[in-house]
């Protein structure tokens, strides 16, 4: 059972925040909640290092703004952003700003736990990061030109339909190319794929 560090849940929606906290506590995590990113930032000095789970859309200071604020303050706590389906583009922006993962609502317990476990596993050495960079670059060379075009679209949050229109191909062809990209890049999810590109400096 996990015991530390603490997971900080930030969401302006009371019901969503309480549901996330309940799921995490059920999994054995110590949880502290905040109703805004502003209140979290104001409390930072008194907090121990932990994992941050934050909604993307919040008044005052958004999830993306929070990621940027932490990066500017050289605070490298892992941040996982929670997003609705329509906010995938914003979530990708958060990843590029420094978030380690994003997961879509509604969040199942196993998805939350897997995201935290994955974030913990990625806090490795410089050597591990160099190895990851090399691996991503190698896999990129295995993509066909069409697969690379689809990858470029996915990396900025475009839908299959938008990619199909841009490339003048049908949606089914995009689905096939997307599946090929995920397989060749060894990506478990879209967020995993975007993290790979970030590692490669793309």
Q: How far is Cα of residue 52 from the mean position of the Cα atoms in its chain?
A: 11
Residues 92 and 179 grouped into a single domain: no
On whether both 134 and 114 belong to a single domain, the answer is no
- Per-residue model confidence (pLDDT) at position 126: 45
Q: What DSSP line would sit under 124-180, residue for residue?
A: --HHHHHHHHHHHHHHHTTS-HHHHHHHHHHHTT--HHHHHHHHT--HHHHHHHHHH
CA pair distance 116, 29, nearest whole angstrom: 10
Question: Is the domain of 183 the same as that of 161?
Answer: yes
Q: Is residue 96 within 8 Å of 70, Cβ to Cβ? A: no
Query: In this structure, are 133 and 149 located in the same domain?
Result: yes
Same domain? 151 vs 91? no
What is the per-residue pLDDT for 9?
96
What CATH number is given to the structural domain containing 42? 3.40.50.2300
Band of pLDDT at residue 94, cut at 50, 70 and 90: confident
User: In terms of residue numbers, what domain contains 61?
Assistant: 6-122
Asked if residue 48 and residue 30 are part of one domain, the reply reads yes
The answer to whether residue 198 scores a pLDDT higher than 80 is: no
Do both 162 and 101 map to the same domain? Answer: no
pLDDT for the residue numbered 181: 93
The answer, yes or no, to whether residue 75 has pLDDT greater than 50, is: yes
Quote the CA–CA distance of 63 and 108 in Å, as a whole number. 20
pLDDT digits over 36-48, tens only?
Answer: 999 999 999 999 9
The average confidence (pLDDT) of the chain is 84
Query: 149 and 118 share a domain?
Result: no
Q: Out of 87, 122, 157, pick the residue that ends a domain.
A: 122
In the numeric block, the tokens 């859309």 are attached to 57
Same domain, 98 and 54: yes
**What's the pLDDT at 129?**
52
Question: What is the CA angle 128-134-136, rounded to 5?
Answer: 100
**Token pair of 157, please?**
């949050």
Are 152 and 117 in contact by the 8 Å Cβ rule? The answer is: no
Residue 147, domain member (yes or no): yes
Last residue of a domain, one of 93, 122, 151: 122
What is the structure's pLDDT at 100? Answer: 85
| Residue 1 within a domain | no
Look at 87-91, 124-128, 182-186 and tell me which has the smallest mean pLDDT: 124-128
Residue 61 lies in a domain: yes
On whether both 116 and 141 belong to a single domain, the answer is: no
Residue count of the chain, please give it: 202
H helix or E strand, kind and range, residue 80: strand 79-83
pLDDT for res 200:
64
Q: Number of structural domains, the chain?
A: 2
Rounded to two decimals, the pTM is 0.69
Q: Apex CA 35: angle with CA 32 and CA 36, to 5°?
A: 110
Q: Do residues 115 and 94 both lie within one domain?
A: yes
Query: pLDDT tens digits for 144-182?
Result: 999 999 998 988 778 889 999 999 999 999 999 999 999
pLDDT score for 127: 44
What span, in angstroms and rounded, lies between the C-alpha atoms of 45 and 169? 53
User: How far is residue 118 from each of residues 27, 72, 85, 103, 192, measured CA to CA in Å?
Assistant: 15, 24, 21, 12, 10
pLDDT tens-place string over residues 111-132: 888 888 877 776 654 444 555 5
The torsion region of residue 50 among left (phi > 0), alpha (psi -120 to 50) and beta comes to beta
Q: Which residue has the tokens 């949880």?
A: 31
Q: What are 15-63's pLDDT values in tens digits?
A: 999 999 999 998 889 999 999 999 999 999 999 999 999 998 898 899 9
Query: Any idea what the CATH number is for the domain that residue 130 is in?
Result: 1.10.10.10
HSE toward the beta carbon, residue 162, CA cutoff 13 A: 10
Query: 101 falls in which pLDDT band (50, 70, 90)?
Result: confident
């Amino acid at each position: 059972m996990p015991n530390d560090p603490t997971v900080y849940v930030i969401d302006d929606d009371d019901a969503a925040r309480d549901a996330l906290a309940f799921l995490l506590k059920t999994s054995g995590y110590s949880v502290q909640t905040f109703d805004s990113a502003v209140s979290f930032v104001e409390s930072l000095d008194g907090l121990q290092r932990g994992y941050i789970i934050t909604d993307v859309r919040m008044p005052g200071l958004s999830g993306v703004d929070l990621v940027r604020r932490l990066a500017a303050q050289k605070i490298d706590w892992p941040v996982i952003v929670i997003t609705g389906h329509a906010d995938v583009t914003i979530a990708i922006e958060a990843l590029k700003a420094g978030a380690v993962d994003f997961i879509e609502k509604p969040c199942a317990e196993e998805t939350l736990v897997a995201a935290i476990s994955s974030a913990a596993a990625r806090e490795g050495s410089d050597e591990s990061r160099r190895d990851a960079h090399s691996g991503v670059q190698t896999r990129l060379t295995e993509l066909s030109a069409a697969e690379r075009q689809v990858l470029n679209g996915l990396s900025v949050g475009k839908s299959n339909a938008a990619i199909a229109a841009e490339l003048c191909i049908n949606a089914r062809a995009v689905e096939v190319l997307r599946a090929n990209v995920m397989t060749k890049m060894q990506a478990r999810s879209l967020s995993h794929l975007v993290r790979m590109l970030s590692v490669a400096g793309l």
